[in-house]
Amino acid sequence: MASPLSVVALAAGLAVSAPSPDDSRTLVVRVSGDCSAAAQQVVEQTGGQLLSVQPSGDTCIITVLVQGNGQRPRKVTVRVPM
């Protein structure tokens, strides 16, 4: 199973730009709609397993699977502002 952070990175759709003109050794990474920090925070707060991350406008929609005490796991969806 993929680690939660790798799933977040993939879901966030990272875009890499060209190196800076003033320093050819510098790589600049631009992220559009990056929800990785929000997803990591939700996973830590709920103790759940990351199912999906979706940027939507200025919000991140994060879905996790949370285990219950001897009960079926429940799906929790959280909306977090970017």
Instruction: Find all residues with CB under 8 Å of 78, minimum gap 6, and list them.
Output: 42, 46, 61, 62, 63, 64
- For 49-64, what is each residue's pLDDT tens digit? 999 999 998 999 999 9
User: CA dist 80 to 9, 10, 23, 25, 31, Å?
Assistant: 17, 18, 36, 35, 17
Whole-number pLDDT of residue 65: 95
Is 0.75 topped by the overall pTM? no
